[in-house]
Amino acid sequence: MRNVIVTGASRGLGLAVVRHLAAEGYRALAIARKTSAELASAMKTSRPGSLHFVPFDLVEIDKLPQLVRQLHKDFGPIYGLVNNAAMGTDGVLAMMSTSQIEGLVRLNTVSPIVLSKYVVRRMMAEGGGRIVNVASITAFTGHSGLSVYAATKSSMIGFTRSLAREVGPLGVNVNAVAPGFLETEMTRSMDSRRREQLARRSALRRFASVEDVADAIGYLLGDKTGSITGTVLTVDAGTTA
């Protein structure tokens, strides 16, 4: 059974990803600070041994090497890594505190890069693997109030393309997905007028679902993408069309 680490897996997109992977025959290693009722339910209903919760706070960057060693010890070789965990704090740059900015960059950029560093070492030693980084269409289009978030997601795209060149000769594929606005608790809680305005921007006149993005991530982790690396797959219902 192939082991895939998924960060930020207790809710939203991360939860959809681990559910998808467990259903597709992987062993999903769900990383989050704490579990959720939804993740606990998914663990109960998934095939035995296909979904494991691993508590860890990803801002504790100094402890990431220990996390990877323990995962390898407990579960064996790591086939895949999905860098999904991120904060999407909304705020005008001029009014944001420096500590807020540093917190976003630490979780959204530094943590996945360092985690990838230790995971990719294992992958190279074992002859291959897959890394999928979750970016955002804000890296292409920009969005008022999300300048720092967009900066972190843009950095993940550059990281994806460059790392793909570094580790490709050793059998590791590195790609990214760029979701648009998704059907989540956040968008469902929006004012109906705001929701309609955002939906009208897309070619399909709707938001993509977290399951749509999870399917795309599953595809990039699969065996049919051996020649796909260094790319960004956009899943936004046509918002950037």
Q: Which residues are catalytic?
A: 149
**What secondary structure letter does DSSP report for 107?**
I
Residue 167 makes CB contacts below 8 A (sequence gap 6+) with: 120, 123, 124, 174
Three-class SS state of 223: helix
Q: Angle at the Cα of 67 (from 65 to 72), degrees rounded to 5?
A: 100
H/E element holding 32?
strand 27-32
Residue for token pair 């000769």: 169
Residues facing 133 on adjacent strands: 83, 176
